[in-house]
Each structure stands twice: as structure tokens, then as C-alpha cells.
């Protein structure tokens, strides 16, 4: 019979870690006497990051004395104080390889149900003074587990655990390994998604692994479905066959193969990375541009707005028809689905480009009935309503469409009802005139403020989030769990910038720097440059840092527990093997 050795609690606090403040409650200390276990917590306890810890299914964390002894031996550590692994209950018994999801235990006056293994987290490594701890807990199959509180009650050291109901037969260790370790047997996945006691997030991950199938490389349960591998790795020379000024500020570039094999087909909505090589000693420039038309076999057209950026100025001022450029293969998942339901293209400014490519793709389809198309676009005025004639021609070919064009600052010569439909910015309230059905799929592209407002408005209007796809120009949102807010800083070279060594390009951020070996990983180089990054475990387990590689290769300092998808790397535990371009 398992015995409760210690009840451990701790409130969130800010600690200094690697020059940053981290808000965490991983420091737990034993309490004396009896304490109340509540639905969402234990009296005196708290969580610093409610996205990863706490809540109904993670109210109480349990860890075992036998695992304490194991780690003390494995890590050559002196005896550890109870609470050292951030757990609420230190128990003698209830090992991870025997306790099952759904097991219910009466402990003192409380009734608990086992819901999931511990979530991998870098903060247990901070608490233990070993940054590899998150990976070790998984690889050694000793994660510990969470419980939800079925009945509140008081507990204290010395109470025994009495099983009131057996669970679904899959142990905590088996469930943890099924998600994080290689090999995801289908029958076990099917069993896991049917376990009602397992928390929703874990069941969703197992459903994603089931949908991906056994042939897919990578871990769809952690990252979602992997995109199709690009047609080629790295960069390929192409010739500019034509340029065309779409407006005073937007120029299109049409490229085709040189003497090599013709460029392969692309999907509407995809983008290419263009490698620009200004004269030395300047480093290469890497910029991503959406393909605005890929409907002509063997040719891609991308369109660039002149702005303050070095890449757009270079293309507008230096590049002409007949010149050679280096481009990556087309990539990206912001593409049309295969359904036949209504589709809404809603863009602003230069965000029109991937939507225009999708419109070309729809117009080129001859073997299916035309879909109902809603074209919604916002520009400043008629001069900046780029591709207006091209869009009108494509919509006419499709036949079934409604349009809504908004000019925020129309000129006196702009004709309402002809060139545009409404004055001002388009919002969800103005979409009501189009009577867009609930099952329509929205494709949004434009500046971050536009995307945020449009997505929020659509949700509020009752459109399902699953039917809203968006493409963001520029960097992705950072994920740094527990790190307290810091002032936004544009990406920049590191303080100890090198003048030689491998060249690392953070493409979305428009930054290229030398790898100088001062950093243990690409993640830490990116952080030194204030490049927005996503991470959680920092040890090659959670795959939050998984990043697409445009070109180049990496070496791993610590092999990930499961390899990422093809064409992707885990930047938390890797370094470049020569020049490298990352989609960051």
C-alpha cells in the first residue's frame, strides 16, 4: 500500500536564470500537519505557468521515493529534499510503470484520479541544477504524474492511498513513452484516444499521431501534421524572365529555370526564399516572398513592395530581367484545402499576394465545379489596389463570387461602387453584407494587427477557428514559457558578433550573422539576437523549437529523443555544419 511521505507546496516567484526573469513555482517545500486538497490546487500552492501546469487535470503532481533514490544514484547526488522534482505529493509506492491513467485513489479525505504524465519542462532542470533533466525524466521513463481532484478533502503525511477504481490499463510510463519516444503503435494510440480520464490535450496529440499514420517522419502529436518536403534543399539558380511594375511601390518578378530541369509545380499560398548577394563584405540577404502566381508551368511570379528593408530596395534597384537569382524550393502550408465549400480570401496591402495565387489555382481547375468565392481586400486607395484588373478577370472566370473592396483613404478620382465598395477599413461587421455562410473557409493575409483583429472578429461572429487560416509576414510569435515580459526588440547581431565562421541566416527576421561557437545551440544564438523563438524543454523532447531548414545542415550536441520531420531541426540542441538558413 502506497504511503504519502510529504505534502509539498510553493507559490510562484521570479528567479534570475540566464539573464532573464522566470516566473515559476517549481520550488516546493514540505508542510506540516494536514492541508486541504481543492479542485484546482492544494492550499498554499500555485503554478507560475497555467498553460503548461495546473488546471482541473493537473491539480496535484505526484512523484515517487523510489525515483528519488534512482536519480540520486544516477546523478551521483546526495539525498534530495522532498519536493525537489516540483511535486505536491512525495509517495512511497505508486511507480510510473504500475499506476494507470484513470486509477482512482482515496487519500485522507480526498479522492484523486490519475490523468496524465508530467509535462516536459525546462524548469525542473533549473530546480535540479541539471538542464538535461526534462529529457532524462522521459528517456528513463520516470516522469511522475498528475491527478485531478474528484472529491476535495484534507491530507497529511502518513496517509495511505487506497485504490477505489482501476483505470484503463495503460500505465503512466507507457503513455509518456507513446507520445515522446520513437515508435507509436497504432493499437496503443487507438487505445489512448479512447481513455476518458486522459486529459484532452494528450488525447488530441494521440489523435494527431493516428491521423498522420506510421509512415510520417517526425512527431505529429507534438508539432501537428508535417508539411510536404520541399522539392529541393538549399538554393537553386533561376533566371528572371520578366519584371512588371504593378503600382508605384510593387514590382513583380517572374522566374524560370536556367538550363536545368524546369521548376516544379507549386501550391497557391506557398512562398520562396530569395538569396540576394550584395558585393562583399556584406553578408547575403535572405528574404521570404509569397508566390503571387504559379499557374504557368515552369514559372513562378513573386511580388515585392518597396519599403525600408534592404532586401526590397535591392530587388527594386539592382535586379533586372535576364539576371540570375538564387531561390529556395516553394514551401508553406497556407494553401487551399481540397473541399468544395465556399472560400473567403481576405487580405490587406501586400498580403494580397498568396491569396491571388490561390485565386489563380481555383481558376485553373477544370475538373471540379467552381466554388463560391468571397474576395475581400483593403487598400489605401486606387493607386495601391494592386492586381485589381487581374483579380477582376479571375473572378469573372470563376463566375460564382462576391467582392468587398475597402479604401481607407480614397482619392477624389476613386469611384465608389466601381473601384471600391466601402470607405474605411473592413471589419467583420462590414462582412455581414456578403452573407458569408458558417461553413466558409477563411484565408487571411496581411499585417499582424489586421490578422489579430480579423481572427478575433470572426471568432466573435461564430465562425469556427478550424475554418480560419492565416499567413503572417515576418517573424512568428515567440513561445518562452515562464519568462516574464520583456521590451520588444528588433532582431540584431549578437553583442559578441564574429567576422568569420559559418553564416547563419534567420530568414523571417531578415538577419544574417556568423556562428562564432560562443553559444551551445542555435536556440541560444537566436536568443542573443532577439530573434523570436519557440521552446519549452530545451533538451530535444517537446519539439516546440522545431524549425524548417531552408538550406544547410546541423549537428546535434544531444540527439533528440525522436528525430524531427524531414527538412526540420530542433534548434535547442543543434549547431550549424557550415552555412545555414532557418525559417525564423
pLDDT digit string, tens, across residues 489-531: 888 998 888 788 899 999 988 899 999 888 999 999 999 999 9
Residue 68, CA atoms < 13 Å, CB-side half-sphere: 21
Q: Return d(Cα 17, Cα 29) in angstroms, integer.
A: 20
Instruction: Give the CA angle between residues 225, 229, 232 to the nearest 5°.
Output: 165
pLDDT in tens, 293-329: 999 999 999 999 998 788 889 899 999 999 999 999 9
Q: At what angle do helices 200-212 and 186-193 cross, to 10 degrees?
A: 150
Give the cell for residue 346.
481576405
Taking only the tens of pLDDT, the chain with its 584 residues reads: 899 999 999 999 999 988 889 899 999 999 999 999 999 999 999 988 877 788 899 999 999 999 999 999 999 999 999 999 999 999 999 999 999 999 999 999 999 999 999 988 899 999 999 999 999 999 999 999 999 999 999 999 999 999 999 988 899 999 999 999 998 999 999 999 999 999 999 999 999 999 888 777 788 888 877 777 888 889 999 999 999 999 999 999 999 999 878 999 999 999 999 998 877 777 888 899 999 999 999 999 999 999 878 888 989 999 999 999 999 999 988 888 777 899 999 999 999 999 999 999 999 886 667 789 999 999 999 999 999 999 999 999 988 899 999 999 999 999 998 999 999 999 999 999 999 999 999 999 988 888 989 999 999 999 999 899 988 766 677 788 888 876 678 889 988 887 888 999 999 888 999 998 889 999 999 999 999 899 899 999 999 999 999 999 999 998 899 999 888 999 999 999 999 999 99
Which helix (H) or strand (E) segment is 6 a member of? Answer: strand 3-9
Among candidates 148, 204, 134, which has minimal Cα distance to 542? 134
Which residues, listed in sequence order, are joined to residue 37 by a DSSP beta bridge?
42, 153
Give the model's pLDDT for residue 485. 72
Evaluate the CA torsion angle 367, 369, 374, 379 in order and state its sign.
positive
Which residues, listed in sequence order, are joined to residue 116 by a DSSP beta bridge?
146
Cell 509569397 belongs to 290
- Helices then strands, counting H and E runs in the chain, come out as 13, 31
Between the two ends of the chain, the Cα-to-Cα distance in Å is 51
| Contact yes or no for 229/566 (Cβ under 8 A) | yes
Instruction: Give the CA angle between residues 506, 570, 573 to the nearest 5°.
Output: 100
Q: Return d(Cα 166, Cα 424) in angstroms, integer.
A: 62
Give the model's pLDDT for residue 278. 77
Amino acid at each position: 500500500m502506497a504511503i504519502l511521505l510529504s505534502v509539498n507546496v510553493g507559490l510562484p516567484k521570479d528567479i534570475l536564470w540566464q539573464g532573464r526573469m522566470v516566473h515559476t513555482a517549481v520550488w516546493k517545500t514540505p508542510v506540516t500537519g494536514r492541508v486541504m486538497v481543492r479542485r484546482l490546487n492544494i492550499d498554499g500552492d500555485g503554478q507560475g505557468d497555467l498553460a503548461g501546469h495546473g488546471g482541473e487535470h493537473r491539480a496535484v503532481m505526484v512523484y515517487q521515493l523510489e525515483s528519488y533514490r534512482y536519480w540520486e544514484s544516477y546523478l551521483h547526488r546526495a539525498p534530495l529534499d522532498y519536493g525537489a522534482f516540483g511535486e505536491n505529493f512525495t509517495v512511497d509506492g505508486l511507480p510510473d510503470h504500475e499506476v494507470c491513467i484513470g486509477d482512482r485513489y482515496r487519500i485522507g479525505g480526498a479522492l484523486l484520479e490519475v490523468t496524465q504524465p508530467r509535462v516536459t519542462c525546462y524548469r525542473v532542470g533549473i530546480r535540479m541544477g541539471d538542464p538535461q533533466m526534462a529529457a532524462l525524466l522521459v528517456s528513463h521513463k520516470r516522469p511522475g504524474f498528475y491527478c485531478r481532484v474528484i472529491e476535495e478533502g484534507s491530507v497529511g503525511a502518513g496517509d495511505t492511498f487506497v485504490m477505489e477504481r482501476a483505470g484503463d490499463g495503460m500505465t503512466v510510463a507507457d503513455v509518456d513513452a507513446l507520445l515522446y519516444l520513437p515508435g507509436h503503435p497504432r493499437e496503443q494510440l487507438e487505445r489512448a484516444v479512447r481513455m476518458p480520464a486522459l486529459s484532452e490535450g494528450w488525447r488530441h496529440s494521440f489523435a494527431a499521431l493516428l491521423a498522420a499514420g506510421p509512415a510520417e517522419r517526425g512527431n505529429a502529436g507534438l508539432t501537428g501534421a508535417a508539411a510536404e518536403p520541399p522539392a529541393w534543399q538549399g538554393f537553386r539558380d533561376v533566371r528572371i524572365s520578366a519584371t512588371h511594375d504593378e503600382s508605384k511601390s510593387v514590382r513583380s518578378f517572374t522566374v524560370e529555370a536556367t538550363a536545368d530541369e524546369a521548376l516544379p509545380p507549386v501550391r497557391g499560398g506557398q512562398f520562396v526564399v530569395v538569396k540576394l548577394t550584395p558585393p562583399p563584405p556584406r553578408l547575403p540577404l535572405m528574404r521570404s516572398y509569397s508566390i503571387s502566381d504559379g499557374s504557368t508551368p515552369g514559372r513562378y511570379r513573386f511580388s515585392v513592395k518597396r519599403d525600408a528593408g534592404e532586401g526590397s530596395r535591392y530587388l527594386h534597384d539592382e535586379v533586372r530581367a535576364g539576371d540570375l537569382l538564387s531561390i529556395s524550393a516553394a514551401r508553406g502550408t497556407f494553401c487551399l484545402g481540397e473541399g468544395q465549400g465556399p472560400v473567403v480570401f481576405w487580405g490587406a496591402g501586400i498580403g494580397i499576394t498568396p491569396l491571388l495565387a490561390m485565386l489563380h489555382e481555383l481558376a485553373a481547375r477544370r475538373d471540379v465545379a467552381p466554388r463560391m468565392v468571397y474576395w475581400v481586400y483593403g487598400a489605401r486607395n486606387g493607386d495601391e489596389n494592386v492586381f485589381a484588373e487581374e483579380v477582376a478577370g479571375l473572378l469573372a472566370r470563376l463566375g460564382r463570387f462576391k467582392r468587398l473592396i475597402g479604401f481607407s483613404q480614397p482619392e477624389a478620382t476613386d469611384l465608389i461602387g466601381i473601384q471600391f465598395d466601402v470607405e474605411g477599413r473592413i471589419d467583420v461587421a462590414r462582412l455581414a453584407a456578403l452573407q458569408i455562410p458558417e461553413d466558409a473557409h477563411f484565408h487571411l493575409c496581411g499585417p499582424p494587427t489586421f490578422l489579430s483583429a480579423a481572427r478575433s472578429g470572426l471568432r466573435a461572429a461564430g465562425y469556427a477557428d478550424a475554418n480560419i487560416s492565416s499567413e503572417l509576414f515576418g517573424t512568428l510569435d515567440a513561445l518562452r514559457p515562464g519568462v516574464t515580459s520583456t521590451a520588444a526588440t528588433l532582431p540584431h547581431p549578437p553583442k559578441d558578433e564574429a567576422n568569420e565562421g559559418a553564416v547563419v541566416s534567420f530568414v523571417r527576421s531578415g538577419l544574417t550573422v556568423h556562428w562564432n561557437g560562443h553559444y551551445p545551440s542555435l536556440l541560444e544564438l537566436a536568443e542573443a539576437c532577439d530573434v523570436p523563438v519557440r521552446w519549452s524543454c530545451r533538451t530535444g523532447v517537446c519539439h516546440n523549437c522545431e524549425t524548417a531548414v531552408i538550406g544547410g545542415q546541423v549537428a546535434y550536441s544531444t540527439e533528440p529523443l525522436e528525430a524531427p520531420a524531414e527538412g526540420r531541426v530542433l534548434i535547442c540542441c543543434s549547431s550549424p555544419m557550415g552555412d545555414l538558413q532557418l525559417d525564423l
